[in-house]
Structure 1
Amino acid sequence: MAGEEKTSTKSSLNQDENKADSDETSQSQGADQAPVCDKLIKLPLTRVKHIIKTDPDVTLASSEAVVTLAKAAELFIQALSKDAVSKTMTGKRKTIQRKDLDIVMDTRDCYAFLEGAIDT
């Protein structure tokens, strides 16, 4: 009987430890979820909202629209940057230059709408 009592005590202790571990895991996941949402968008939303409101046709922008446009802008910047990096690497350089962006905008049709927008 003493052996059975030790075994049941050990199993109940293991169950308690497993429960505590699962509670800590769920709490740490909950704590991690909040920063993940913050990391989804890197552009400042107030600045994006201000840019949206510079359009005279826009009177009101919902928070969902601001977040969506911010994410779209991030993806666009990322794609343009990747294309510019590939041109930089083709030129056997390590620094992206203005001419790399100009080449990408001139050669890729998807950036045709930027023609004349980035003149200095």
Structure 2
Amino acid sequence: MRRPKSSHVRMEPVAPRSHNTMPMLDQFRSNHPETSKIEGVSSLDTALKVFWNNQREQLGNFAGQTHLPLSRVRKILKCDPEVKKISCDVPALFSKACEYFILEVTLRAWMHTQSCTRETIRRCDIFQAVKNSGTYDFLIDRVPFGPHCVTHQGVQPPAEMILPDMNVPIDMDQIEEENMMEERSVGFDLNCDLQ
């Protein structure tokens, strides 16, 4: 049987209605051991301290099991022409570092999402997570920022239009006279003799 290309495989959501929404915080904590100790934390600093303490505890029993494919990490490492050989520990280490990066940025974005009283992480949440972090500020140019980051819950900011003051009397003769002066100096003279 021929196996379909990975780009043609349709991924099914883990749970009903969980395609692109973050589950409720209680369900999120119970399903993911990385964030199981973050309970009722309102401050980002406190949440990050709890998160990293939890990661340090779990690092003690790290047996090289990662969620990212090691072969893909190895390919990315070999993209550098200066890299000749890669130790067997390096892909697992890089994979774990990428997992930590993804988890921390997701946690920062999730805290921003909650501060906006939403339950779905948007691009603007990821942008704010990167922008507000001194560690990840080098990614600001890489994270897409557009008009979607300006809107909050679909409400567009009011448009401002600068209109001239309507109470000022307008002297049309003066305006016509100014326009006549400008027209004379613009262009070229057809009666001019070119020899």
TM-score (normalizing by structure 2): 0.40
SS at match of 2:89: helix
* Shift of residue 44, structure 1, vs aligned partner: 0.5
Q: 1:115 aligns with which of 124, 130, 140?
A: 140
Q: Whole-Å Cα distance in 1 between the matches of residues 143 and 69 of structure 2? A: 22
1:99 aligns with 124
1:41 lines up with 2:66 in the alignment: yes
2:108 aligns with 83
Q: 1:65 aligns with which of 83, 87, 90?
A: 90
Q: Whole-Å Cα distance in 1 between the matches of residues 111 and 90 of structure 2? A: 32
2:76 aligns with 51
Give matches, 1:21-36, under 5 Å.
none
Q: Whole-Å Cα distance in 1 between the matches of residues 102 and 125 of structure 2? A: 14
2:99 aligns with 74
* Shift of residue 67, structure 1, vs aligned partner: 0.7
Q: Whole-Å Cα distance in 2 between the matches of residues 113 and 59 of structure 1? A: 28
* Shift of residue 116, structure 1, vs aligned partner: 1.5
Structure 1 segments of 4+ aligned residues over 4 angstroms from their partners: none
Identity of aligned residues (%): 31
Q: Residues 30-64 of structure 1: CA distance to partner in whole angstroms, max 9, x if unpaired?
A: xxxxxx947x3110000111111112222221110
TM-score (normalizing by structure 1): 0.63
More helix by share: 1
Q: Residues 7-27 of structure 1: CA distance to partner in whole angstroms, max 9, x if unpaired?
A: xxxxxxxxxxxxxxxxxxxxx
Q: Residues 84-103 of structure 1: CA distance to partner in whole angstroms, max 9, x if unpaired?
A: 00000111111100000111
SS at match of 2:128: helix
Cα separation, partners in 2 of 1:59 and 1:119, compared to 1, 3 Å: farther
SS at match of 1:70: helix
Q: Whole-Å Cα distance in 1 between the matches of residues 131 and 141 of structure 2? A: 11
SS at match of 2:136: helix
Number of aligned pairs?
84
Q: Which sections of structure 2, spanning at least 5 residues, go unmatched?
A: 1-61, 146-195
Cα separation, partners in 2 of 1:86 and 1:115, compared to 1, 3 Å: same
